[in-house]
Structures are given as structure tokens and as C-alpha cells.
Amino acid sequence: MPWSWRYEGTDGRAVSGPAEQFGSQADAESWIGQTWRELASAGVTSVSLVEDDRVEYRMSLLPGAE
């Protein structure tokens, strides 16, 4: 089952992003860990990890309040 990421902007709407597919959840999470800063710089504010059409979880790419 392929894993992929869906990307959202500040208004919660889908935005374009890399159309990467991964063989495992761990590979997808490793990739997002390496690229989230570039995605955030491009206007992506949150991502959803998807296996086929099922959303595993959603997370923000915005820095937390300190």
C-alpha cells in the first residue's frame, strides 16, 4: 500500500506539493522530517499522511508558540 502526503495552505485548502510515494509509513515520515522546512517556505502550513485514501494523521508545519 503506498503512502503519500497531502498538503494544505493557511486557508486549509489543498496546495501543490511533491507527488512522492513511499513503501512504508517510516519512509514517508523520514522524508517529511527532511523536507518540512522547504514545504513551509513554499506556503504549506499542514500535511496529512495518507495510505491509499485513508488519512493516518494530520500535522502542522507551523512553529509552535514559545
pLDDT one-digit tens code per residue, 40-62: 999 999 999 999 989 999 999 98
Nearest to 6 by CA among 60, 46, 36: 46
Instruction: Name the E strands within the chain.
Output: 3-8, 46-51, 54-60
Indicate whether 21 belongs to any domain. Answer: yes
pTM of the shown model: 0.88
Q: Is the pLDDT of residue 65 over 50?
A: no
Indicate whether 65 belongs to any domain. Answer: no
Indicate whether 50 belongs to any domain. Answer: yes
Helix ranges (DSSP H) in 1-66: 25-41
Nearest to 22 by CA among 1, 43, 45: 1
Identify the domain containing residue 20 by its residue range: 3-60
Indicate whether 66 belongs to any domain. Answer: no
Domain count along the chain:
1
